[in-house]
Amino acid sequence: MVKPNIVIIMADQLAPQFCGIYGHPVAKTPHIDSLAKRGARFDAAYCNSPLCAPSRFSFMSGQLVSRIAAYDNASEFSSMTPTFAHYLRSLGYRTCLSGKMHFIGPDQKHGFEDRVTTDIYPSDFAWTPDWEAPDERIDKWYHNMQTIKESGMAVATFQTDYDDEVGFAANRWLIDQARDRDSESSPPFILVASFIHPHDPYVAKPEWWNLYSNDEIELPLTNIDSVDKDPFSKRLLDGIEASYTPLSNKEIIRARRAYLANVSYFDSKVGEIIKTICDIGEIDNTVIIVTADHGDMLGERGLWYKMNFFEYSARVPLIFAGPNITGGVIKNTCSLVDILPTLIDIAGGSEDILGKEIDGRSLVNLLHGKEDPVDEAIGEYCAEMTAYPVFMIRRSNLKYIHCNEDPPQLYDLNIDPLETRNFANHPEYQEAVESFSNEVSSRWDSKKLRQDIIKTQKSRRSLYDAMSSGKLEAWDYNPPSDASQQYVRNHMDWTVAASRYRFPPVNGDKT
């Protein structure tokens, strides 16, 4: 059996509600939509922690953040933690990362043989929160409303610079695989192309901004006054300064327009990569996956960005297309920890390969159109703007959110998809609330987890202070580059170089 190639295209902060295939009335996402129509679309996929680094570490490892101490955006991703890149490499795959994965620590590859770009955010402990001073803002990197007020259009940003590089490097790597391929012996490959868009700041290039007009941009379906503000939401509103920095409708519309424009920009990158896969003749043997690390509230409930378990923040798009994928629209709840076992299944491996216990399950049966009795996602939030762990259990139509310091929250997404009513005290839901509460107690020791988190925070802040003194030794990844071996040089025959770089070759031996 020929093992399929795998290409994962990842967005940052992409709420599925802002994609055409997920029902947005004006979103222009033709490439994502087309992929979903010929493959499988998950309608209840979640991140396991609604923040960049923790979510990505769960995605890579198949483990919840509490298991691997991946609490926040400055938590080290241990080199002892196996990732799907490690497992697929051991199954004979060539592995490559182009773009963001927000690795923290000296290991900046985590199983990827090739890493063809640097990252976009710091790889050290600079962004460590302090749960012993949870009300103190770190203005250097905490979100605030100024981002919304400055949204709009620009010819270039650091984000477009980065994503243009990510797309170019990913496509060139794919072409290089074709240049060097021998149908008898070349290994299958897995490429992760991970973009920063449509993550804030909400600033779009003119060609994408002009795809939309202000009069077609909808205001949030809920606002700060239309829903009850639970204590965690209040902390978030204060933390991002939304509770005391009013926004005009014009400012909100401008930010949401720029976000949609950047969703379309990301979609264009999806299209470019799919075209390259077609150009190298691998489209029929490549599983393509589109997803994101978390969503974006975009003003719903008065909240922006992520860092909570409401639908716009915690849900992610998840689309598979390729050989043997016939799932259509899949309603089962799942999460990003399910990606690792799914990839192992697709690559022909088994659970025997696992070096550590994982928290996910394979989605292959669902992708093949079969039934799966599992219908759940587990979430943990242990980062800034709280001082206690926050847990989520989504099972079937119910979502339960627990924090030791706050009243419980229970939402019935079948009858209240906007989560405007907390049913935790409703008589008809008391049995479910009791069951969820017991499950939280059995799954987590919240007090001990909090103590562990504070210990790591103290340690990391101490290390960061030390590393900031004296000679700086950065962990930030520098992609290797040797110009003396690129293009045509004096030590090589230019005709050989021309033959190697041309694809397809003149003699037609490769397709």
Given pLDDT bands bounded at 50, 70 and 90, which one contains residue 501?
A: confident
**Would you state the structure tokens that stand for residue 261, as one six-digit string?**
């424009």
Assigned token pair, 279: 């150009």
Cα(55)–Cα(294) distance, integer angstroms? 7
Q: Is residue 204 part of a domain?
A: yes
Residue-range definition of the domain harbouring residue 35: 5-389+444-480
- Check residues 510 and 168 and name the one with the higher pLDDT: 168
Res 308: pLDDT: 97
Nearest to 46 by CA among 265, 403, 332: 332
Q: Measure the CA–CA gap between 49 and 68, rounded to whole angstroms.
A: 13
Indicate the DSSP class of residue 427.
Answer: G
278 Cβ contact partners less than 8 Å away, ≥ 6 residues apart: none
Average pLDDT for 22-31: 97
Return the sign of the alpha-carbon dihedral for residues 240, 245, 249, 251: negative
238 pLDDT higher than 50: yes
User: How does pLDDT run across 425-448, given as a tens digit for each residue?
Assistant: 999 999 999 999 999 999 999 999
Please count the structural domains in the chain.
Answer: 1
Residue-wise pLDDT for 118-150, tens only, equals: 999 999 999 999 999 877 766 666 778 999 999
Instruction: Give the pLDDT mean for 60-80.
Output: 97
As given in the structure block, the two tokens for residue 130 are 């302090």
Tokens, residue 146: 């100024």
Instruction: Identify whether 251 is part of a domain.
Output: yes
Query: Is 20:301 a contact under the CB 8 Å cutoff?
Result: no
Mean of per-residue pLDDT scores for the chain: 94
197 annotated active-site: no
Q: Who has greater pLDDT, 127 or 506?
A: 127
Cα distance from N-terminal residue to C-terminal residue, the chain = 20
- Range 346-354 average pLDDT: 95
Please report whether residue 168 resides in a domain. Answer: yes
The answer to whether residue 382 sits within a structural domain is yes
Q: Would the pTM count as exceeding 0.85?
A: yes
The residue from 52, 96, 334, 403 that is catalytic is 52
CATH number for the domain spanning 357: value is 3.40.720.10
Residue 401 lies in a domain: no
Domain contains 428? no
DSSP string across 256-307 = HHHHHHHHHHHHHHHHHHHHHHHHTT-GGGEEEEEEES----TTGGG--S-S
d(CA 270, CA 288): 10
Active site residue 382: no
Examine residue 216 and state whether it is found in any structural domain, yes or no.
yes
CA pair distance 294, 16, nearest whole angstrom: 9
Catalytic-labelled residue, pool 31, 86, 102, 402: 102
In this prediction, what percent of the chain has a pLDDT beyond 70?
97
Residue 508: the pLDDT is: 55
Query: Residue 320's closest CA among 29, 35, 28, 30?
Result: 35
pLDDT at 511: 45
Closest C-alpha among 237, 246, 223, 217 to residue 152: 217
146, part of any domain: yes
CA nearest 153: which of 210, 199, 198, 196? 210
Please write the tens of the pLDDT for every residue from 177-233: 999 886 556 899 999 999 999 999 999 999 999 999 999 999 999 988 888 889 999
| pLDDT the model gives residue 31 | 98
- Distance between CA 202 and CA 262 in Å, rounded? 8
| pLDDT at site 282 | 96
* Interval 368-376 mean pLDDT: 94
d(CA 13, CA 321): 22
Which 3 state secondary structure label does DSSP give 177?
A: helix
